[in-house]
Amino acid sequence: MLAYVYLTMGDYKNAAKLSQEVIDSKQYTLMNKTEIINSGFASVSIPGWMWAIDLTTNNSPALPTFWGHMDLFTYSYAYAGGEKLIDTELYNSIPASGCSQEMV
C-alpha cells in the first residue's frame, strides 16, 4: 500500500524500491500470462494475491461489498442515492489540461 501511495505522490524511486522488496521476498508471485488470461483476476486461488476474499451469497450480502457501494444495478447504496462522488473543491482544482508532466 505504501508503494501505491508513493506512486500517487510521484515518488517513483521509493515506489520501485518497496515493490522490488515485495517481489524479492518471494512471498507473493507475479501472475503469469496464463493466470491473467484464464482467471480474469477472478480467482482467489492465484498465489500472487496479497489479500483477497471469495465473495459468495453465503458470506457476503450485497450491502457491505464494493459492488453494493459502487454499482447501481445491485440495488444497494449506489442505487438508493448513496453514490460516491468527487468533492467539488477537489474537482475544481484539477487543471483543464489534465495532469502535469510531473505526474506522468
Whether residue 53 contacts residue 39, with contact meaning beta carbons closer than 8 Å, is answered with no
Q: Which pLDDT score, from 0 to 100, does residue 42 have?
A: 72
Looking at residue 98, its pLDDT comes to: 64
- Judged against a pLDDT cut of 60, whether residue 101 lies above it is answered with no
pLDDT at 28 over 80: yes
Give the per-residue pLDDT at 100: 55
Looking at residues 50-79, what average pLDDT do you find? 73
